[in-house]
Amino acid sequence: MNNQNFFVAGTDTGVGKTVLSLLIMQFFYNNGFSPFYLKPFQTGCVNPYDEDSDARFIYSNIGRLKGEDPGESVIYCFNNPKAPYFAARDAGRLNDIDVGSINEILEQKAGVFNPVILEGAGGVFVPIDEKNLMIDLIELTASRPIIAARAGLGTINHTLLTINALRQRGIEPIGIVFIDPDEKPAHPDMIRENMEAIRLFSGIEVAGVIGRIEDFSRPQERYYEIIGKIFGKSTVIGQGR
């Protein structure tokens, strides 16, 4: 396949973008590709190596990445758990943010790895700096978004709003995945109704539900099947490199 960039976009903060990113990375490794995980903005952690680092979580749960440097996957890291704009301002580093440099780094990684999996911070309207939102980064990087959404109450509104925002920019999501990690999962009837509403009003099928995972280094095989539905339909699966 030709090099492509995929962007894991959330309907909100804390919806499971990093878990979905991990599954996508593992899926591509399992299919003979050499993917790369890129987190342009990480907030709520001291550095890429601390316990709250998304990159550390990814690297710790992929055998091929153990011993590699999670810092390679993080461009901007800010301590306060806020939108990047405010977290950077709190740190006195707002002027450090250069959205154009993110695309340069992405192009460098795409020259070595295939595909590049970017993960956003929060939802698509989260501010990056004084001029740009997360959706602007999706557009700038020409990435194909995959939406991570909650499985339960409220997800219809949040998911349809996210899809509508992307489509207003001429960006078509390639898939939607529900994340439902709680010990008490959402009721199956509610999940079915949520899926039905999203399909009815957006035309996009929800690929499936990622439930609780006990061992992130060895997720349930059925979750890879959900990821496969997305990339099968988007015709990106071919010969790995």
Query: With contact defined as beta carbons under 8 Å apart, do 173 and 6 qualify?
Result: no
> Which DSSP category does 189 fall into?
H
Query: With contact defined as beta carbons under 8 Å apart, do 25 and 18 qualify?
Result: no
From the candidates 39, 66, 131, 184, give the one annotated as an active-site residue.
39
**Residues 224-241: b if buried by 16+ CB within 10 A, e if exposed:** eebbbebbeebebbeeee
Range from 4-8, 197-201, 208-212, 232-236 carrying the lowest mean pLDDT: 232-236
What are the extents of the domains in the chain?
A: 5-233
Q: What is the pLDDT of residues 93-114, one digit of tens each?
A: 999 999 999 999 999 999 999 9
Q: Check whether 233 has a pLDDT greater than 80.
A: no
Q: Check whether 215 has a pLDDT greater than 90.
A: yes
Distance CA 134, CA 139 (A): 9
CA dihedral (146, 208, 217, 183) positive or negative: positive
Q: What is the pLDDT of residues 113-133, one digit of tens each?
A: 999 999 999 999 999 999 999
Q: pLDDT-based confidence at 194, cuts 50/70/90?
A: very high
CA dihedral (19, 109, 97, 171) positive or negative: negative
pLDDT of residue 193: 98
pLDDT of residue 237: 45
pLDDT of residue 4: 84
Active site residue 39: yes
CATH of domain 5-233: 3.40.50.300
pLDDT of residue 236: 47
Nearest by Cα to 149 from 113, 111, 128, 175 = 175
Angle formed by the axes of helices 221-233 and 17-30, nearest 10°: 80
Nearest 5°: the CA angle 159, 19, 113 is 105
For the chain, how big is the Rg over CA atoms in Å? 17
pLDDT of residue 3: 58
pTM of the model: 0.94
> Which DSSP category does 70 fall into?
G
